[in-house]
């Protein structure tokens, strides 16, 4: 289908202006970034590989989505345009105050204005003012809880703390009342059919802050259908939708009437929640053909490789992204995670110096430096930088999760649990925090609790074999072999990195259950896996806190155990020649530093017994 790139350019230019006027600077920057990345080789139209409608909603579609008559919609738009024109000067003044973070003053300036731009800026200013007061109240509470090591048990100390706590609660209560007042005004405007797409987005923000996720999802869907070029609305929609209970296939159908922005959103959602799959490639190709040099598109591809644990390729793409946008910090924290896993101290150190030189007061910078100190095993310093990141942004999910990892290294399980729980509070759909909680409770020898958290992680990350292997290990610890077998079998449907571990555990579980045919099948799979990986079992992986990583000798010992079982299995079936072949593999492997001496002696004893018969 032909796509008019000139129209895309016009719509993106309009989006930059509309979002900037309303103080949505992130959405404006995103639109401007795509505008500058729009393919310059196609000045009029191009052919996309999948059916796509790139124009904004037609009048018929707008009428369908909003249940409006065409005449009523036109009258409403004309009315809003007139109001915006009449109130333009006051909106400009209020926007200056807004940019100076004088939110209450900006809201007061627009108190008597009725146009959609003025209403949005006024209520958005009140919303941000409320957020700031709530944040200050939380900071005060955290300071009181943390203390300074001074004993305030005297009467004066108690009175002072009580007064501070009372003030904190009063501020928090006022903030919540303000949020409800904003919600009521937006709902009244919606009922009077006097709210535009940006107003619906703001209603979504309010509902999300109130914990009303379903209502937020509904108004965000309405917002992007009315005006699809507000990336902030798409981002908010992504935080509201539970892709476990709202399948991505259904979401794709529900958004099918929209244009190319839905492909950007779906690609982002698939990477963020599922690490990317076949559906990601379809959406990625659409936006990549339109915006071949977009840092956003390159970032999505890099994040997909990172989620699939293809660190070398992810690092290469991040290097390319750095050439295109050398001063960008948005994805530097993820890049630092990749370099940390690769144990590339030199490149991670260079990245940390670069980020600190650009802006040392960005949460991403603190995260990068924290990863650098963690790689150097200076875990106390790493915790300090993650805490600094949280001082800059209390909802910075990565810092909470990484700080939990650092507390595990410091053997401080109580602090680790607290950090992971904060991460869950920020976003209960992020599997890393649930997985971290499971690992922590496994360290504490509490497998029942651990299995609950691993199950939450596996539900959010259904194709990640590490989640299912960790869950299977918990079920083994609690003597639930049937559930353990189900978990390990489920692990084989996911990523291949834990395949050897899952196969090994399945073979042993079936062996212990006396199901020799199934045990033999998985032991044979284990040997095939070893052959495929050059004669060793390969990377068994560490999937839980109490599952040790097998070194080369341990891997060979597991392989020897498989050969011994298969030798007995084949002998019982009357296939003595095959049995002797398996035993010979164990004995011959001893000369190359393979199985333990105990396994070798056991194999020789069985060979002598077989020879006598």
Q: What is the mean pLDDT of residues 544-571?
A: 67
Is residue 555 situated within a structural domain? yes
195: left (phi over 0), alpha (psi -120 to 50) or beta: beta
Q: What is the reported pLDDT for 156?
A: 41
Q: Which helix (H) or strand (E) holds 2?
A: strand 2-4
pLDDT at 133: 84
Q: pLDDT class for 157, splitting at 50, 70, 90?
A: very low
585 assigned to some structural domain: yes
Asked, for residue 557, whether it belongs to a domain, the answer is yes
| Residue 386 scores a pLDDT above 60 | yes
Return the structure tokens found at 551: 């070194």
Burial of 440 (0-12, 13-18, 19+ CB in 10 A): buried
pLDDT of residue 79: 83
127 vs 122, 132, 135, 464, CA distance in Å? 9, 9, 12, 39
The packing angle between helices 231-240 and 213-226, to 10°, is: 150
**pLDDT one-digit tens code per residue, 20-30:** 999 999 999 99
- Find the mean pLDDT for residues 464-475: 93
Query: What is the pLDDT, as a whole number, of residue 58?
Result: 41
Give the least confident one: 63-67, 417-421, 449-453, 598-602: 63-67
The pLDDT of 98-106, averaged and rounded, is: 94
The percentage of the chain sitting over the pLDDT mark of 90, rounded to a whole number, equals 51
Residue 487: per-residue pLDDT: 94
Answer whether 0.75 is exceeded by the pTM. Answer: yes
* For residues 532-536, average pLDDT: 60
- Please indicate, yes or no, if residue 390 is contained in any of the structural domains: no
pLDDT at 43: 43
How much is the pLDDT for 256? 79
Residue 258, burial from CB neighbour count under 10 angstroms (0-12, 13-18, 19+): buried
- Residue-level pLDDT at 150: 35
CB 146: neighbour CB atoms within 10 A?
A: 8
Per-residue model confidence as pLDDT tens digits over 286-344: 898 899 889 999 999 999 999 888 899 999 999 999 888 899 999 999 999 999 999 99
The answer to whether residue 392 is domain-embedded is no
Residue 612 is predicted with a pLDDT of 66
> What's the number of domains the chain is made of?
1
Q: Tell me, letter by letter, the H, E, C secondary structure of 45-86.
A: EEECCCCCCCCCCCHHHHHHHHCCCHHHHHHHHHHHHHHHHH
- When pLDDT is cut at 50, 70 and 90, the band that residue 135 belongs to is confident
Distance CA 164, CA 231 (A): 40
Digit-coded pLDDT (tens) for 13-60: 999 999 999 999 999 999 999 999 886 544 444 444 443 333 333 444
Query: Residue 324 phi/psi, 5° resolution?
Result: -75, -40
Q: Where are the beta strands (DSSP E) in 49-178?
A: none
Contacts of 6 (CB under 8 A, 6+ apart): 43, 44
pLDDT at position 541, please?
A: 34
pLDDT at 509 (0 to 100): 94
Q: How far is the C-alpha of 283 from the C-alpha of 254, rounded, in Å?
A: 15
Which residue is listed with tokens 């539970």?
A: 242
Q: Is residue 577 assigned to a domain?
A: yes
Please say if the pLDDT value at position 173 is more than 80: no
pLDDT in tens, 229-245: 999 999 999 888 876 67
Residue 545 has pLDDT above 70, yes or no: no
Q: Is residue 78 part of a domain?
A: no
CA distances from 297 to 259, 285, 339, 430, 459 (A): 17, 9, 21, 22, 27
Sequence-distant (≥ 6) Cβ neighbours of residue 547 within 8 angstroms? 469, 470, 473, 501
Token pair, residue 53, equals 């409608």
* Angstrom distance (rounded) from CA 523 to CA 517: 10
Among 135-139, 266-270, 417-421, the least confident range: 135-139
- Give the residue with greater pLDDT, 219 vs 252: 219
Average pLDDT value for the chain:
82
- Look up the CATH number of the domain holding residue 523: 1.25.40.10
Spell out the long-range contacts of 202-211 with Cβ–Cβ below 8 A and sequence spacing 24 or more. Answer: 202/120, 202/123, 202/124, 202/127, 204/233, 204/236, 204/237, 204/240, 205/127, 205/236, 206/127, 206/179, 206/182, 207/183, 208/236, 208/239, 208/240, 209/127, 209/131, 209/179, 210/179, 210/180, 210/183
Q: Which pLDDT tens digit goes with each residue over 122-132?
A: 999 999 999 88
Residue 539: which domain range? 431-612
Domain assignment present for 186:
no
The predicted-structure confidence for 256-302, as pLDDT tens digits, reads as follows 778 899 999 999 988 887 766 667 888 888 898 899 889 999 999 99
């Amino acid at each position: 289908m032909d796509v008019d790139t000139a129209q895309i350019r016009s719509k993106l230019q309009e989006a930059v202006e509309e979002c900037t006027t309303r103080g949505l600077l992130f959405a404006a920057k995103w639109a401007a970034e795509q505008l500058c990345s729009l393919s310059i080789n196609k000045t009029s139209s191009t052919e996309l590989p999948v059916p796509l409608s790139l124009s904004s909603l037609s009048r018929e579609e707008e009428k369908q989505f909003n249940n409006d008559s065409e005449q009523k919609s036109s009258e409403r738009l004309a009315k809003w345009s007139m109001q915006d024109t009449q109130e333009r000067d006051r909106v400009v003044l209020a926007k200056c105050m807004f940019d100076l973070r004088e939110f209450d003053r900006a809201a007061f300036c627009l108190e008597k204005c009725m146009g959609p731009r003025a209403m949005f800026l006024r209520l958005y200013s009140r919303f941000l003012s409320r957020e700031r007061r709530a944040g200050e109240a939380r900071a005060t509470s955290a300071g009181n809880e943390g203390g300074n090591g001074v004993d305030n048990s005297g009467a004066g100390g108690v009175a002072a703390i009580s007064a501070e706590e009372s003030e904190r609660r009063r501020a928090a209560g006022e903030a919540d009342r303000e949020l409800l007042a904003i919600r009521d005004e937006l709902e009244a405007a919606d009922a009077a059919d006097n709210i535009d797409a940006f107003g619906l987005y703001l209603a979504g923000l309010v509902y999300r802050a109130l914990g009303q996720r379903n209502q937020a999802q509904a108004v965000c869907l309405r917002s992007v259908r009315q005006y699809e070029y507000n990336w902030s609305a798409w981002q908010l929609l992504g935080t509201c939708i539970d892709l476990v209970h709202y399948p991505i296939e259904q979401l794709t159908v529900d958004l099918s009437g929209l244009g190319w922005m839905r492909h950007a959103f779906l690609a982002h959602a698939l990477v963020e929640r599922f690490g990317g799959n076949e559906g990601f490639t379809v959406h990625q190709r659409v936006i990549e053909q339109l915006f071949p040099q977009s840092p956003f598109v390159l970032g999505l591809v890099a994040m997909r490789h990172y989620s699939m644990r293809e660190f070398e390729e992810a690092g290469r793409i991040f290097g390319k992204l750095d050439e295109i946008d050398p001063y960008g910090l948005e994805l530097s924290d993820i890049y630092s995670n990749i370099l940390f896993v690769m144990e590339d101290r030199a490149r991670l150190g260079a990245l940390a110096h670069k980020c600190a030189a650009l802006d040392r007061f960005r949460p991403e910078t603190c995260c990068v430096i924290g990863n650098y100190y963690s790689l150097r095993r200076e875990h106390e310093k790493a915790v300090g930088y993650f805490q600094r990141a949280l001082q800059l942004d209390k909802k910075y999910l990565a810092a909470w999760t990484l700080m939990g990892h650092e507390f595990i290294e410091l053997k401080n399980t109580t602090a680790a649990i607290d950090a992971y729980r904060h991460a869950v509070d920020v976003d209960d759909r992020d599997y890393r925090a649930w997985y971290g909680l499971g690992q922590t409770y496994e360290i504490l020898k509490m497998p029942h609790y651990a299995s609950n958290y691993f199950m939450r992680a596996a539900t959010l990350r259904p194709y990640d074999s590490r989640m299912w292997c960790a869950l299977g290990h918990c079920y083994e610890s609690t003597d639930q072999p049937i559930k353990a077998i189900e978990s390990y079998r489920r692990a084989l449907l996911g990523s291949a990195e834990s395949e050897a571990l899952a196969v090994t555990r399945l073979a042993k579980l079936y062996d212990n259950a006396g199901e020799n045919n199934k045990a033999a099948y998985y032991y044979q799979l284990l040997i095939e896996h070893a052959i495929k990986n050059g004669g060793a079992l390969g990377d068994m992986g560490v999937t839980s806190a109490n599952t040790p990583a097998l070194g080369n000798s341990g891997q060979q010992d597991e392989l020897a155990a498989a050969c011994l079982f298969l030798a007995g299995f084949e002998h019982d079936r009357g296939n003595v020649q095959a049995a002797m072949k398996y035993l010979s593999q164990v004995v011959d492997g001893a000369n190359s530093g393979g199985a333990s001496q105990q396994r070798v002696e056991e194999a020789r004893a069985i060979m002598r017994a077989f020879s006598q018969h």
